[in-house]
Chain A
């Protein structure tokens, strides 16, 4: 059983404090959703956790199973079990996914890419190109899901994973993520059975989203409302429905209605 534990996290981007004290705990098998208006700091949370250049943690801690992430290099955070599917996956010219996986420390499992790709509906042509090169927004999200499935992290932060996807694709991608979340309990993992592995620890997920669409397929255990760098409310799945009806208006602090970019 793994746990991502975030305590009193404050972080800045370009000298401006964007996260002003975040407390969160995500355990294996749980889905937490972070929702909030534009500029609230949702993407910053994922980027700070992963250590993206330009995102600086000022105070607080973030750990997986007691391993403090904030002092580690990005690669060490990944090896500690953290995965970030960024909002805009980066194009890597001339480097196909297989070359990345070969260096990702997942051993012989890297050879399973084609099987996994077929399962998620990633066309072969996409795998032969540089990663994300000439790929549509939706294709990139499928590729992110493929990487999640290949890398088998403990905790995944999914930043707007559904953007650019049509209804069927959202379903396919969400189902694949759900398989990982339920991997301890569900028998719906033919891959794992074929490999003759024992039960794996289920994935813990932090879904960052502006809309509820993905949450219809990936039912959240907890929904957090992030406004102006703070979690102002947490609740069950019903909170997401309520937000969709009412918007974030009542959560906005006075005078901060114009979206800030983070």
Chain B
């Protein structure tokens, strides 16, 4: 695939970023990128998406030097407020347009190692491996143009009380050659045996059209427990193509919570692979669309080992002319005996012009498993509104209560209260501004 913006010369701009292994990796990725076709909606993975609208020729990767300059000259104001709302953090990473500009962490901690790829003499184990199932033109771009990879290691037995916050700001409004900026935040999270941690990833951007492709890979050793929250609050001109892939060893426990609120077209792919016996994954998400936004969520609950459990609850609302699509696959692989998976997707459609699709899928190779899925798309239930009105609640207030309650049901389940509280506030604010006409 040839695009002058994502050229070998653009890649050469990254030459001084990281060691030899990273340069070799970028060169290989650029070749992979060149060999890929841009996906189209005729592919099952991209059905219902807006991928046909994307012209990669309009974009170019941000040069690390430009990102650092932008970082020195300012920051995204709402981000500071957001960090405040999230409360105390054990460590904070700030990246600007995919380049890490600050890491704030306790000195000489035995509890965690937070570095960037530039400081590593060899690739962090697992890099690229977890997301390999979804290798495509965008993952190849991430491999080719990631400036810094954030690498978080939590050693065996460590228990982190406070979260690690990773803030990805996108600031540049234009690349040096006058194109729309493309940025590639990249994160690797690894927990040793019995380690416990929580991570909050935040994606924000300033004004302007741009492409943001975050890739996060998560590897949990036996008995490790991680919760990761992804707060996608990108600007409304932004195209977002996010990937999160996790792998769980024996008895590991994983909670992923995604709040997909921003973006013009925003796609989040979440894959959780339960490879160790007794491991458990909980996947939670809320998503909102208004204006002409589209939220596109794809999930993969992969059960590989016996006695694995996964629970997924994704809830969304669309108003105005917004769209959403949820596509979820439960994969029960041969050998996943006694595995138990559930998948729930509920959508509220708040106006005539809005549209939501819900597409659950099952792929079952093992007999001795339990699977359940439920999906619903529809307006606010008039029976609920009637019931509240019958208690003397005015109609508009009744609809608002039902709407907020729809999400509250899920937000109540989210670990880390500060983060859930922030999302609750953001969701409430957005919903109150949305006109309910259906």
**Contacts A75-B392, A99-B401, A103-B401: A130 and B387 contacting too (C-beta < 8 A)?**
no
**Complex-state Cα separation, A52 to B397, whole angstroms:** 17
What residues of B have a CB within 8 angstroms of the CB of A83 in the complex? 390
Q: How large is the interface on B (under 10, 10 to 19, 20 to 34, 35 or more residues)?
A: 20 to 34
* Residues in A lying within 8 Å of B, measured CB to CB: 50-53, 73-75, 77-79, 83-84, 86, 89-90, 92-95, 99-101, 103-106, 130, 147, 151
In the complex, whether B395 has a CB less than 8 A from a CB of chain A is yes
Interface SS of B by simple majority: helix
In the complex, whether B107 has a CB less than 8 A from a CB of chain A is no
Q: Is B395 a contact partner of A92 (Cβ separation < 8 A)?
A: no
Within 8 A of A (CB), among B395-415: 395, 397-398, 401-402, 404-409, 412
Q: Is A53 a contact partner of B408 (Cβ separation < 8 A)?
A: no
What residues of A have a CB within 8 angstroms of the CB of B395 in the complex? 73, 75
Which chain B residue has the least Cβ–Cβ distance from A97? B391
What residues of B have a CB within 8 angstroms of the CB of A130 in the complex? 405, 408-409
* Residues in B lying within 8 Å of A, measured CB to CB: 382-384, 386-395, 397-398, 401-402, 404-409, 412
Taking the closest CB of chain B, its distance from the CB of A221, in whole angstroms, is 25
**Contacts A78-B391, A103-B397, A104-B392: A53 and B405 contacting too (C-beta < 8 A)?**
no
Q: Is A53 a contact partner of B406 (Cβ separation < 8 A)?
A: no
Q: Is A52 a contact partner of B386 (Cβ separation < 8 A)?
A: yes
Q: Is A94 a contact partner of B389 (Cβ separation < 8 A)?
A: no
> Which residue in A73, A101, A106 is a CB contact (below 8 Å) of B389?
A73
Q: Is A94 a contact partner of B386 (Cβ separation < 8 A)?
A: no
What residues of A have a CB within 8 angstroms of the CB of B404 in the complex? 94-95
Q: Is A94 a contact partner of B391 (Cβ separation < 8 A)?
A: no
What residues of B have a CB within 8 angstroms of the CB of A95 in the complex? 388, 401-402, 404-405, 408
Nearest first, the 8 A-B pairs at minimum CB distance are A94-B405, A94-B408, A95-B405, A94-B409, A74-B389, A78-B392, A90-B387, A75-B389
Taking the closest CB of chain A, its distance from the CB of B129, in whole angstroms, is 39
What residues of B have a CB within 8 angstroms of the CB of A78 in the complex? 389-393
What residues of A have a CB within 8 angstroms of the CB of B397 in the complex? 103
Taking the closest CB of chain B, its distance from the CB of A109, in whole angstroms, is 12
What residues of A have a CB within 8 angstroms of the CB of B401 in the complex? 92, 95, 99-100, 103
What residues of B have a CB within 8 angstroms of the CB of A73 in the complex? 389, 395
What residues of B have a CB within 8 angstroms of the CB of A75 in the complex? 389-390, 392-395, 398
Taking the closest CB of chain A, its distance from the CB of B115, in whole angstroms, is 41
What residues of B have a CB within 8 angstroms of the CB of A93 in the complex? 405-406, 408-409
Taking the closest CB of chain A, its distance from the CB of B41, in whole angstroms, is 34
What residues of A have a CB within 8 angstroms of the CB of B405 in the complex? 92-95, 99, 130
Q: Is A92 a contact partner of B389 (Cβ separation < 8 A)?
A: no
**Complex-state Cα separation, A73 to B405, whole angstroms:** 23
Taking the closest CB of chain A, its distance from the CB of B268, in whole angstroms, is 23
Q: Is A103 a contact partner of B407 (Cβ separation < 8 A)?
A: no
Which chain B residue has the least Cβ–Cβ distance from A47? B386
Which chain B residue has the least Cβ–Cβ distance from A99? B401
What residues of A have a CB within 8 angstroms of the CB of B383 in the complex? 53, 90
Taking the closest CB of chain B, its distance from the CB of A198, in whole angstroms, is 22
> Which residue in B392, B398, B412 is a CB contact (below 8 Å) of A94?
B412
User: Could you write out 7 A-B pairs with CB less than 8 Å apart?
Assistant: A52-B390, A74-B386, A83-B390, A90-B386, A99-B401, A100-B391, A130-B405
What residues of A have a CB within 8 angstroms of the CB of B407 in the complex? 94
Q: Which of A50, A74, A106, A130 has the most CB of B within 10 A?
A: A74
Q: Is A94 a contact partner of B406 (Cβ separation < 8 A)?
A: yes
What residues of A have a CB within 8 angstroms of the CB of B388 in the complex? 92, 95, 100, 103
